[in-house]
Structure 1
């Protein structure tokens, strides 16, 4: 019973394989075989080199037709030359139909005229047609064409009798070696293209994820900044009525409304922060700690110096208080730029310039040429994305590029409103 079931299962598997093969032949060779599929020009080439494949096919067609006329210099030879040349030329527009036309010429040559189906030029033409079709379609087409060509040769041998030499064995062996090589190269090329496309998609997704992570970090930091100011508003609104004697009821009600709105805004902020931090609750070791400002830059630079990086810090312009979001973003930009120097330019000298100018804050972090090779870093270039996100959020501008001496420079400008607005 078990043996019978095993044999039955094996038979069903073989039938499924046979049906799949027949379906593949039908789809590749019989479904709209004469569809118009022009050979596209080579991309990214010169004006004339783009058409090299087309010129090569036309030249091969002319050579095959001239060779056929030399092999049979007669009116019948002209017809034979058309039979071997037309399929080659047709591969430029209808590749599968060109193979069927080449197969049809075999019957005309081998059955109607009684000559050998594969003359030397006919053999070259049919081989070239199969190679071009394999390149232009898919690798498995080589197997179908090889099998049907061999079957056609065997059929012609049976039809014409045992004394009729079709040359099927020679053609089958030669075509098998050539088509296997062409299909292997085509499959390898497609695999490399798929790997390159997948790598590009992976890099794009990685960049998007980096941007989203940076935006999440910015949202967390801005929460602390906004929450601080909203807390101050709520406290001052609550304390304001007690600073004035005989406060009018309307004014007390207005301060109460301000306080209630501030507390409601704080509640919403905490709710949003809970959602943002839910995926990574340990993003900050101390979520209650104040966010850094430009006043913390000297400590940051000293920390980087202790890691072995020579850093020069220069501040120009009149130092003045800036909005907390601007100072936080400036600090993070300098921090990320120095981290990039540590990762990608070991042994280089760095310079940090902070410029307080009219209308904003200028930042410049530049480093020289490294004195040794840097270790591979999987996040190369993604820190720049985060810096661009911060600058773009504030409506500023930023450049990040290599310098002429082999170093790297990050320059950013963060716009700031009027002094009174900044103090507020």
Structure 2
């Protein structure tokens, strides 16, 4: 999403009200006349009434008009008119308020005299009307700026939402394409492997060949089930939460070793109740190590040691030297990298390398307690 610039911090409304009242009081002080207590009291009341300008802008303007009519203090009324213009939209109302201010400003009480036909009255009236119009224009400008800012915020949010929808649509398309590829290509080929392994199991006379074919067929069927579930997850395209395949635990390691097609020896003293993340990491470590042994060291034996000591879980999988030349099988060489990254995410370490007898060893050390 496009980052938005942080808006400028506006002064608090209480501070702005204080400034408006202070300016109104300064205007009263500039026109103070001790001989006119009623007029001065009216001007002071108009300054205090500004406290209502945000909640009742029209009422505040009407209450400050007498101060303009009775005295020369006009700041309070102009402030009320500005607030009314910044919060109100009807232009007819604002025009009437401008005319009312100009009339009160050019009329003197208690002996009013108002004659627009005389040039001496028309010019002051125009000046007062222009002053009031300036306050109205300023208020309308502030209102327009505020509306424009809100509109820009809405447009920005709509654009971000559209970008999110576009990204989700692209992701859904890629997931659907990947699901089709897995279903049409991978599932088909694994199905053929299962069928051929089943035929080999039925037709073979050698016991070892039958056992190997049965193992291949069982693993193929298990892989097909996982592929079908994964295709269902991909086709969900993020629309609704999809149940994931049950995650492996320590209790599944023995079955993993038995179905690996390798002669293995498992030794474990791990306690129960380890965090699920640790159990998955242990299982994936053993799984990856046995897979690499089967691919790169045919005929080798494997030993799995799962030890709990000093608050750590140590997983060591060691295989002997191969007795047959390895087959040229495809691989992305990401398995050990993934194990290292998984161990580091859990706060552990991972080492791997050849042994002195020509074999290979994978060792992962994880903390027994993992938070988060």
Q: TM-score, normalised by structure 1?
A: 0.41
Q: TM-score, normalised by structure 2?
A: 0.45
